[in-house]
Amino acid sequence: MKEKLETLEQAIKNHINDGDSVVMGACLEPMIPFAAAYEILRQKKKSLNVIAPISDILFDMLIGAGAVKKVTAAWAGNVSAGLGHNYRRAVEKGDPFPIEIEDHSNFSIGLALLGGAMGAPFLPTKSLLGTGIVESNPNLKQEVYNGEKLIYVPSINPDVAILGVQRADKNGNAHLWGNLGIAQDAAMAGKKVILLAEEIVETSDVDSDPNRVLVPGFKVTSVVECPGFAHPSPVQGYYQRDHEFFHTYHKETKTVDGFKHWLDQYVLSVSSHEEYLKQVGKERLDSLRIKQIKLAAPVNYAAD
């Protein structure tokens, strides 16, 4: 199988185009690929349709920097503090650009990606009946099947799914554990898949535990070795959530000038993910590292 290892810069340059629909944040609060979002902004990608149930401040940051045309999501903001300031400015004032909103619940966007993974045109649900989401999202259709009211959720096949994993081999076989969210559905629905991995391991390491594999390697387009890719969000077994980073972001982005200062400090004034980590600071990152070891019980895959 062809090796798919690329640098972060190469992966974004080669596989993200202006106007693409991109999943980022499929595991909800953990495993958010912030490193990819920063590189997207450094490369000045534009007019993106960003897709996720929750991606914390990642969408808010991309919106404020003018990279987003459409948000397909259940929520856009700061889990620590509420709706994102850039998101509100864009929706309420068209600043820096007006954005289109395709409203979803966490469940319905999961259904949309699951439908895309299955190759189905839509999946039905009862969960949205009686909610305002049916009114705010005209793509959702109420139909009657065998006398029952259902909401048909159109499937989504994103141009790119950017997903984080703890470890991967050079061919795209990867392990993900902890809160999986809708990562597997996003990977299977995506036309291209970029994996950001905390570490690159041998294929035999991945093969040793097949039940932990996210998707088969042939479905993956690009693999990036990118330790610390999710900061300030957490990665199970590697580092905790940087709560103070999120609080500081929310305070600084109350004004446009404050956001521009934050963006310059952490994104535009640094040339790579490695420089970003230096900007955050080794002492701070070390304080977030997981120090305990809680291993799963061993399993026996022997068949004879």
pLDDT in tens, 156-184: 999 999 999 999 999 999 999 999 999 99
Q: Which residue has the higher pLDDT, 194 or 77?
A: 194
- The pLDDT of residue 111 is 98
298 found inside a domain: no
Q: Judge whether 115 lies within some domain.
A: no
What is the per-residue pLDDT for 3?
87
Does the pLDDT of residue 37 top 80, yes or no? yes
**Phi, psi dihedral angles at 12 (to 5 degrees):** -70, -40
Q: Given CA atoms 131, 137, 138, 144 in this order, what sign does their dihedral have?
A: negative
| pLDDT at residue number 18 | 98
* 214 domain-assigned: yes
Domain count of the chain? 2
Tell me the per-residue pLDDT of 97-146, one tens digit each, with 9 for 90 and over.
Answer: 999 999 999 999 999 999 999 999 999 999 999 999 999 999 999 999 99
Find out whether the peptide bond into 96 is cis, omega within 30 degrees of 0.
yes
At residue 10, the 3 state secondary structure works out as: helix
Q: What single-letter DSSP state applies at residue 76? A: -
Task: Write down the pLDDT at residue 79.
Answer: 87
Domain that holds residue 146: 121-154
pLDDT band at 1 (very low <50, low <70, confident <90, very high): low
User: Do 196 and 228 contact (CB within 8 A), yes or no?
Assistant: no
Specify whether the CB–CB gap between 192 and 161 falls below 8 A: yes
| Token pair 């864009």 in the structure block, residue | 90
CA separation for the pair 113, 107 (Å, rounded): 10
Residue 114 belongs to a domain: no
- Inside any domain, residue 183: yes
12, pLDDT greater than 80:
yes
Indicate if the alpha-carbon torsion angle 201, 206, 212, 214 is positive or negative.
positive
Residue 295 — pLDDT band, cuts 50, 70, 90?
A: very high
Could you tell me which residues come within 8 angstroms of residue 132 by beta carbon, excluding any fewer than 6 positions away?
Answer: none
- Indicate whether 89 belongs to any domain: yes
Confidence of residue 2 (pLDDT cuts 50, 70, 90): confident
